[in-house]
Chains A and B, each alone.
Chain A
Amino acid sequence: MTPPLFRVRRLRKEFAGNAVLRDVDAEIRRGEILGLIGENGAGKSTFMKILSGIYEPTSGTLELEGRPIAFDSPSDARRAGVSIVPQEFNLAKDLSVEENVFLGAELLKLRRVLDRTGMRVRTAQLLAELGANVSPQDRIEGLSAAQKQLVEVCKALAFDASLLILDEPTTMLTRREIDRLFALMRSLKARGMALVYVSHKLAEVKAICDRVMVLKDGELVREAPIAEIEPPEMARCMVGRELREIFPPKRKAVGPVVLEVRGLSSPGAFTDVSFTVREGEILGFAGLVGAGRTQIAEALMGLRPSSGVVRVGGKEARARDAKQAVRQGFGYLSEDRQGSGILTGFGIAENMTLVSLRDYASLPFVIDRDKEVAKARTWRDRFGIKASNLAAPLESLSGGNQQKVFLAKTLDPGPRVVMVDEPTRGVDVAAKQEIYRFLAELAAKGAAVVLISSELEEIIGMCDRVVVMREGRIVGELEGNHVEEREIMYMATGLRTGANA
């Protein structure tokens, strides 16, 4: 029996002692499309990055056609025949298609001079094979998402890839473009190529793949030929696990409605969104990445234009800017802590009071530092932030402690509506548990909490009511006993809509 094209044995990857991939064994065969699925953080992207030479494994081996192999770099992997079409395209937008296809590996003549004719002919040939309606001289900037994707595929094929990895390739494509991509994938398969298809869309996985691998918490939990597994079971494998005792007890909120959103839309982000949040309630927002959940929070914070009705405590509260939103009682913990959350060069106290600085001014503009430090100290003690010096810059703190500072910053103005977006991203389990407890306490004290999370476990552990979004719309709402992983997954992936909404 011939060996598989690619085989990994006991592949393991750790970051700072945290295992994100735990001893995975897998093989990838010629002429096969392998589906790779799993929740966010399950280890899919780490797995792909190891295959394509971006990461080196902590332990374990890679074998190509039965021989052990190690990649030092992505270009190393590309030479060995492994190419990746990334989710975020990696194209220089000011260069032409042909320049991009051969970028970093230009064909030369006379050893120094670019063989432009050669590259153009080869690119044209590849584009024709792919059935792409693109000319080699077109600039990337003017191309559609689907066309850019074909350029990425072209890049992979220009180097005789034997293994092609496609990371969430259909998220930006229309139905017709997806059909065309699938046809292309089948023809590549027929040529004997191996393809790895990474996706959240289980129906597509079922339609295109020959075999599927499910990763969960860095482990391979299920592997099956596609005929033996249906999307509902895939969803169950992705999320099915015991809820550990890290969540505080849930409580049903019966207080008055604090936040009311009616027919809120934001062009290009979400459409006609309506929901309410009661006093003391934690409302979950579930859905896949890109479903429009973060954009709703941004719109409510006045960070993106929107139309529709927003009321807080019965009063009109649609904000034009963040300052107004804060005044109207909104608080937002964004998903990107480093990019839009905290200032790493600022001290702990300075970060905590950044939104509420107005409250620390003795004269209209002069900051009362004693008051500021005193308040920062109470937050530190309440959240158990491990730092002796409140002036220490945030970059000296661990991710979990930074996140607690961020939470303190969000809560310091005393918002009535607290929106937390991926509140436990990049923090360890102990800090997670604490953050869950703070959120529950916050709700118990009467705040209306909106929890946006891609970790279903978190949504289910924290929320009594969950809104599910897909492609910019609310597709369903679950409550009480119906808040369940499978139901959410069905709705989020488009296998079912409505439910008991």
Chain B
Amino acid sequence: MNAALSFLQRVDKERYAAFVALAILTVVSALLSPFFLQWQNLLNIIRQVSYTGIIALGMTFVIVSGGIDLSVGSMAAFVGCLAILVLNGSFEAGWPEGTAVAAAVACAMFAGLACGLANGLLVTKGKIAPFIVTLGTMALFRSLSLYMANAGEFRSASSLFGELGSSAPLGIPLPAFILVGLAAALAFIFGRTRYGRYTRAVGSNSRVALYSAIDVDTTRLAAYTVTGAMVGVSSVLISMRFNSVGSSTLGVNYELDAIAAVIIGGTSMSGGRGTVWGTVVGAITLGVINNMLNMVGISPYLQGTVKGLVIIGAVFIQRQRQ
């Protein structure tokens, strides 16, 4: 009894709230449409939210550390373009298809990491506000992608690349596996390691962190770098899905969806508090809302309205609780 009570006390109430909201939403959706609970539909939702969900995992670290990253969508396009170029280049150079795909994946990971690192360095060493830095790199990454592809799209020359994107081991879409796997890994880092603790400390009060002998700059730098790596993963997955990269279309509004997922998941916009699993729940919540709107026949043009209202509502509720 006592153990149960102390467990309840330890459960993060904000994470709990996000779960409850998702449960209610699921029940409402199931009542509104008989198709909602069908296995195929649910898998579809999970796959759709995976791409931005993976980015949102990294965004959780950035926001908890007291920052923001607006560049993730453009970065995804930029990284995707590079990945396809490497894929086609190595394929045409006569590499085996599997190796070429591996090279493309490695390139995306590395490029994402490097872009994130650049954001982080500008924020920490350059001492420029994260909003400004990532607003700038948002424009920059998009423009570079458009330039590389001449505003068009890069098609992958490998069919294996595309097949991987629509593969579904054990009947579950590959991106969903990766989302859950990365979420588990990052949740462990966030909750159980020194780095996770430092991230919260820095976001909670960076001056206290500094006086507590915590390397504030490195902690913040790592958050942007992790986000860059997640963008790399997400970008590869979405490129695989279409077997091409549209330089003007890939990643559009991803920053919005990723930030929304983080906030709906209960992470405090002012930093210091949040959970990784909450973000996953937030991403799924967004997906369920979109799915429900589709099912009941509401114009897709209005989906943004609903999303906007949900984000504002989530922050409003946070404020009330404080």
A303 and B197 contact, CB distance less than 8 A:
no
In whole angstroms, how far apart are the Cα atoms of A357 and B10 in the complex? Answer: 20
Contact stretch, chosen from A82-90, A129-137, A339-347: A339-347
Q: Which chain B residues (202-222) contact chain A, with CB distance < 8 Å?
A: 204-205, 207-215
Q: Which of A323, A345, A350, A369 contacts B215 (CB 8 A)?
A: A323
B195 to chain A, nearest CB (A): 6
With A and B bound together, what is the CA distance between A121 and B6 in angstroms?
A: 69
CB nearest neighbor in A for B191: A367
B265 adjacent to chain A (CB < 8 Å): no
Q: Is B193 a contact partner of A354 (Cβ separation < 8 A)?
A: no
User: Which residue in chain A gives the minimum CB-CB distance to B196?
Assistant: A367
Q: Write out the residue numbers on chain B whose beta carbons fall within 8 Å of the beta carbon of A369.
A: 192
Q: Report the separation of the CA atoms of residues A391 and B208 in the bound assembly, to the nearest whole angstrom.
A: 19
Contact of A355 among B204, B205, B213, B273 (CB under 8 A): B213
Shortest distance from the beta carbon of B213 to any chain A beta carbon, whole Å: 4
**Cβ–Cβ contact A354 & B214, under 8 A:** yes
Q: What distance in Å separates the Cβ of A335 from its nearest Cβ neighbour in chain B?
A: 11
Most buried by A among B9, B193, B208: B208
Q: Please name the residue on chain B nearest to A409 by beta carbon.
A: B212
| Cβ of A348 to closest chain B Cβ, rounded Å | 13
Asked whether any CB of chain B lies closer than 8 Å to the CB of A42, the reply is no
- One of B192, B193, B211 near A340 (C-beta < 8 A): B211
**Chain B residues within 8 Å of A323, by CB:** 213-215
Residues of A within 8 A of B212 (CB): 322, 354-355, 409
Q: Known A358-B194, A389-B9, A391-B9; judge A346-B200 contact (CB<8 A).
A: yes
Say whether, besides A334-B211, A391-B10, A343 and B205 are in contact (CB < 8 Å): yes
Docked CA distance A339–B200 (Å)? 16
Chain B residues whose C-beta falls within 8 Å of the C-beta of A340 in the assembled complex? 205, 207-208, 210-211
Q: Evaluate contact between B194 and A343: CB separation under 8 angstroms.
A: no
Residues of B within 8 A of A358 (CB): 194
Q: Is B201 located at the chain interface by the 8 A CB criterion? A: yes
With A301-B211, A303-B210, A334-B211 in contact, do A343 and B204 touch (Cβ < 8 Å)?
A: yes
Instruction: Find the A residue at minimum CB distance from B271.
Output: A345
Q: Is the CB of B9 within 8 A of A367?
A: no
B contact residues, total (Cβ < 8 Å): 24
The interface residues of chain B, by DSSP majority, are classed as helix
Cα A366 to Cα B213 in complex, Å, equals 18
Q: Give chain B residues whose Cβ lies under 8 Å from the Cβ of A389.
A: 6, 9
Residue of B nearest to A327 (CB): B213
Q: B6 to A341, Cβ gap below 8 A?
A: no
- Chain B residue nearest to A392 (CB atoms) is B9
Q: In the complex, which residues of chain A have a beta carbon less than 8 angstroms from the beta carbon of B73?
A: none
A303 CA to B195 CA in the complex, in Å? Answer: 21
Q: Which residues of A contact B214 (CB under 8 A)?
A: 322-323, 354
Task: Specify which chain A residues have a CB less than 8 angstroms from the CB of B194 in the assembled complex.
Answer: 357-358, 361, 365-367
User: Which residues of B, 58-89, contact A by the 8 Å Cβ criterion?
Assistant: none
Complex interface: chain B residues within 8 A of A285 (CB): none
Q: Indicate with 1 or 0, residue by residue over B176-207, a CB within 8 angstroms of chain A CB atoms.
A: 00000000000000001111011011001101
Cβ of A462 within 8 Å of any chain B Cβ, yes or no, is no
For the complex, is A197 an interface residue (Cβ under 8 Å from B)? no
Is A71 part of the contact surface with B, judged by Cβ < 8 Å?
no
Chain B residues 245-304 with CB under 8 Å of chain A are 272-273
**Chain A residues in 8 Å Cβ range of B6:** 389
Q: How far is the CA of A341 from the CA of B201 in the complex (A)?
A: 12
Q: Point out the residue from B193, B201, B210 that lies within 8 Å of A343, measured CB to CB.
A: B201
A357→B213 CA distance, assembly (Å)? 10
Which residues on the B side are within 8 Å of A47 (C-beta)? none
| Shortest distance between the CB of B38 and any CB in chain A (Å) | 41
CA A342 – CA B205 in complex, angstroms?
9
A471 CA to B269 CA, complexed, in Å: 42
Contact A341 B273 (CB under 8 A): no
Interface string of A314-351 (1 = CB under 8 A from B): 00000001110110000010100001111101100010
* Assembled-state Cα–Cα distance A369/B201 (Å): 17
Q: How far is the CB of B210 from chain A (nearest CB, A)?
A: 7
Q: What's the Cα separation between A33 and B214 when bound, in Å?
A: 50
Q: Among the interface residues B6, B194, B200, B273, which one has the most CB atoms of the partner chain A within 10 A? A: B194
**Contact status of A366 and B210, CB under 8 A, knowing A343-B204, A345-B272, A391-B10:** no
Q: How many angstroms from the CA of A325 to the CA of B195 in the assembled complex?
A: 20
CB B202 to nearest CB in A, in angstroms, measures 10
- Residues of chain A within 8 A (CB-CB) of B208 are 339-343, 354
Give the interface centre of B192, B197, B211 by most chain A CB atoms within 10 Å. B211
Q: Are A341 and B211 in contact (CB under 8 A)?
A: yes
Min distance, Cβ B214 to any Cβ of chain A, angstroms: 7
A326 partner residues in chain B, CB cutoff 8 A: 213
Closest 3 CB pairs of A and B: A322-B213, A365-B193, A340-B211
12 new A-B contacts, CB < 8 A, other than A357-B198, A365-B194, are A301-B211, A322-B213, A323-B214, A326-B213, A334-B211, A340-B211, A341-B208, A346-B200, A355-B212, A361-B194, A366-B193, A389-B9
The 6 listed contacts between A and B (C-beta, < 8 Å) are: A332-B211, A339-B207, A345-B272, A346-B200, A366-B193, A409-B212
